[in-house]
Amino acid sequence: MTDLVRAEMIEPILTTGASARIDADVAPQFAVGDAVIARNLNPHTHTRLPRYVRGKRGTVERDHGVFLFPDTHAVGQGGKPQHVYSVRFEASELWGPDGTQGDALFIDMWDDYLEPA
């Protein structure tokens, strides 16, 4: 625990923030353009992998860099730094014939959420 946060410290805290980005030399598991599948994970604890993308196939569009991993960070198992990617899923992949052809959903996926397609 750190010292008491005083009123005069609030503005600097709010305007600086606290990035979850980690300056760590971690190799990416995927590259932009890779076809990937969101893993079918169902932990009892915290995850930022929503049900609607699990098992679906998408494409890595951008590598955001290395970030803390919430699934371990939430349960006292450390930050497990890894790459986070913007992954594009076609609406038709997520919703079948009820998705509009050509529309897409973009979501941020940690390395541990993905496997090669």
Give residues in contact with other proteins (CB under 8 A). Answer: 1-11, 13-21, 42-52, 64, 67-68, 70, 73-75, 84, 86, 91, 94-95, 98, 100, 102-110
Q: Closer CB to other proteins, residue 26 or residue 104?
A: 104
Question: For other proteins, which is the closer residue by CB, 36 or 49?
Answer: 49
Nearest to residue 85, comparing CAs of 13, 41, 14, 37? 37
In the complex, least distance from residue 30 CB atom to other proteins, rounded to whole angstroms: 15
Asked whether the beta carbons of 89 and 60 are under 8 A apart, the reply is: no
Euclidean distance between CA atoms 67 and 82, whole angstroms: 6
Least CB distance to other proteins at residue 80 (A) = 11
Contact 58, 88 (CB under 8 A): yes
